[in-house]
């Protein structure tokens, strides 16, 4: 599985943050990572230096093998919370999608 990490100009996307993001997302997905070809994580600070509540947006796109890409977005006050929230959402979405396949 490939992991791609992107940030905007307002978030310093260094190697440490990329490692943290990969750890948080892959931990949340658990065994589902075996069924994915790629995960893309995008972090954006919509207000820049102004700050504010829920101004960090985390979008996660997961590409399950043989299926259409699945995308979720979560907004929160800081990068860590946004990553964790989006990770929970993508896990729930993929559990649902793979569950639908299992019922066919």
- pLDDT given for residue 52 in this prediction: 73
- pLDDT given for residue 94 in this prediction: 95
Q: What is the mean pLDDT of residues 8-18?
A: 93
pTM recorded for the entire structure: 0.91
CA 51 to chain centre: 21
Q: What is each CA distance from 61 to 41, 44, 83, 84, 100, in whole angstroms?
A: 7, 14, 12, 14, 19
The CATH homologous superfamily of the domain defined by 2-102: Ribosome hibernation promotion factor-like (3.30.160.100)
Q: Domain residues of the chain, as ranges? A: 2-102
- CB distance 59 to 5 below 8 Å: no
pLDDT in tens, 52-90: 778 999 999 999 998 899 999 999 999 999 999 999 999
């Amino acid at each position: 599985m490939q992991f791609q990490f992107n940030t905007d100009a307002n978030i310093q996307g260094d190697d440490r943050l990329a490692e943290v993001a990969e750890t948080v997302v892959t931990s949340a997905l658990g065994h589902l990572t075996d069924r994915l070809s790629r995960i893309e994580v995008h972090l954006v600070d919509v207000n820049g230096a102004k700050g504010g509540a829920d101004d960090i947006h985390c979008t996660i796109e997961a590409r399950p093998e043989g299926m259409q890409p699945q995308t979720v977005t979560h907004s929160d006050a800081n990068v860590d919370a946004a990553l964790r929230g989006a990770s929970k959402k993508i896990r729930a979405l993929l559990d649902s999608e793979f569950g639908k396949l299992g019922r066919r």
